[in-house]
């Protein structure tokens, strides 16, 4: 039986709550200015609602949300973000990995681990632990946290040594169990996957792990565009698929709300995976079919970063 996995990312929910001067006296002041000047015009909440409604109308078996639900990591944003994620699906139906905007300042770390804990574990945990592995049908969803607090003007991510070590152990355990390994991570986990200052600082470490231990599919967000890349794996290229922001209205061709559906047949590393994009059509035609995503490595990569790349 085919397993259907939906993927969406980068909801960037607005409007921003009222923030105190104290809350803004930090890295947040640059993000606050950026939101007011630019992002508030791109991330549209009715659009996000339409994307989620379209996704749910297709009845996926599970939903992956790869982060950046928030913008500045304000305490009130966590409340809104949790309410929104609850509206996407139950913790049993949705798996979450945090992005740089969910881990905006050091104070966010505990809040995000508490707020999103049920979407990272099948046990009743109070605090999320990364990496995690959740089993659904033939699939092992392996979630990594790459969002870390950074200095102003940076949107880098880091997985870290401890998490990387546990990640590889989970990959091997899932392979041993004959599961289809789907890795969820906010930042593109290979070198040059995002522009300098917005990249995963230890992408080389993840590349080495995938090259040794493999995975069947990697899903990420962060670049706000559809991207197809292939990482080297022990049995051949591993498709890494980036999705556009789920709330982006047209500003440039690549900033257009979308979500992806993956159809997974078979088990383990022999599984057959196909992918399809749905999202905002051109010329005001609403949400519709954006076509298949080619996972054949011989066709090359698409969605290579342009100069207008955003976070």
Residue 193: CB minimum distance to Fe ion, A: 12
* CB proximity list for 8: less than 8 A, separation 6 or greater: 51, 52, 55, 63, 64, 65, 66, 88, 243, 246, 259, 260
Stretch 84-123: interaction string toward Fe ion, x if CB under 5 A: ---------------xx-----------------------
How many residues line the site for Fe ion (CB under 5 A)? 6
Q: Which residue is nearest to Fe ion (CB)?
A: 68
| Buried residues in 186-213 as b, exposed as e (16+ CB within 10 A) | bbbbbeebbeeebbbbbbebbbebbeeb
Residue 75 three-state SS: helix
- Considering only residues 35 to 74 of the shown chain, the ones binding Fe ion according to CB under 5 A are 68
Q: Give the Cβ contact number of residue 165 at 10 Å.
A: 12
Candidate residues 222, 225, 256, 278; the one interacting with Fe ion per rule CB under 5 A: 222
Q: Which stretch binds Fe ion (CB under 5 A): 129-137, 188-196, 221-229, 264-272?
A: 221-229
The 292-311 contact track toward Fe ion, x by CB under 5 A, reads -------------------x
CB of 234 to Fe ion, least distance (A): 29
Q: Measured between alpha carbons, how far is 16 from 71 in angstroms, rounded to an integer?
A: 8
By the rule CB under 5 A, 220 interacts with Fe ion: no
Nearest-angstrom CA–CA distance, 37 and 81: 22
- Give the separation between CA 151 and CA 156, rounded to whole angstroms: 9
Specify the residue, 148 or 209, whose C-beta has the smaller distance to Fe ion: 148
Chain residues that interact with Fe ion, rule: CB under 5 A: 10, 68, 99-100, 222, 311
């Amino acid at each position: 039986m085919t397993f259907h996995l939906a993927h969406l990312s980068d909801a960037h929910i607005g409007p921003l709550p009222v923030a105190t001067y104290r809350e803004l006296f930090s890295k947040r002041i640059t993000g606050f200015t950026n939101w007011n000047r630019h992002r508030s015009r791109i991330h549209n909440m009715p659009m996000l609602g339409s994307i989620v409604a379209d996704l749910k109308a297709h009845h996926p078996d599970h939903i992956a949300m790869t982060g950046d639900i928030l913008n500045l990591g304000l305490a009130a944003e966590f409340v809104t973000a949790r309410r929104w994620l609850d509206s996407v699906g139950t913790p049993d139906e949705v798996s979450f990995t945090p992005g740089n905007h969910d881990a905006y300042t050091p104070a966010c770390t505990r809040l995000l681990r508490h707020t999103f804990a049920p979407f990272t574990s099948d046990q009743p945990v109070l605090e999320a632990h990364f990496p995690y592995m959740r089993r659904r049908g033939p699939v092992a969803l392996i979630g990594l946290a790459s969002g870390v607090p950074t200095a102003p003007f940076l949107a880098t991510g880091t997985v870290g040594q401890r998490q990387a070590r546990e990640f590889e152990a989970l990959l091997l355990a899932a392979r041993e169990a004959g599961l289809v390994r789907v890795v969820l991570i906010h930042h593109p986990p290979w070198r040059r996957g995002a522009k300098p200052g917005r990249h995963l600082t230890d992408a080389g470490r993840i590349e080495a792990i995938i090259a040794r231990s493999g995975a069947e599919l990697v899903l990420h967000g962060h670049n706000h565009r559809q991207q197809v890349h292939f990482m080297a794996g022990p049995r051949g290229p591993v498709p890494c698929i980036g999705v556009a922001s789920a709330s982006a209205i047209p500003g440039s061709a690549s900033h257009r709300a979308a979500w992806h559906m993956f159809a997974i047949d078979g088990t383990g590393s022999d599984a057959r995976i196909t992918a399809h994009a749905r999202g905002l059509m051109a010329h005001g035609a609403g949400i519709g079919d954006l076509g298949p995503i080619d996972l054949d490595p011989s066709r090359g990569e698409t969605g290579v970063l342009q100069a207008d790349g955003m976070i």
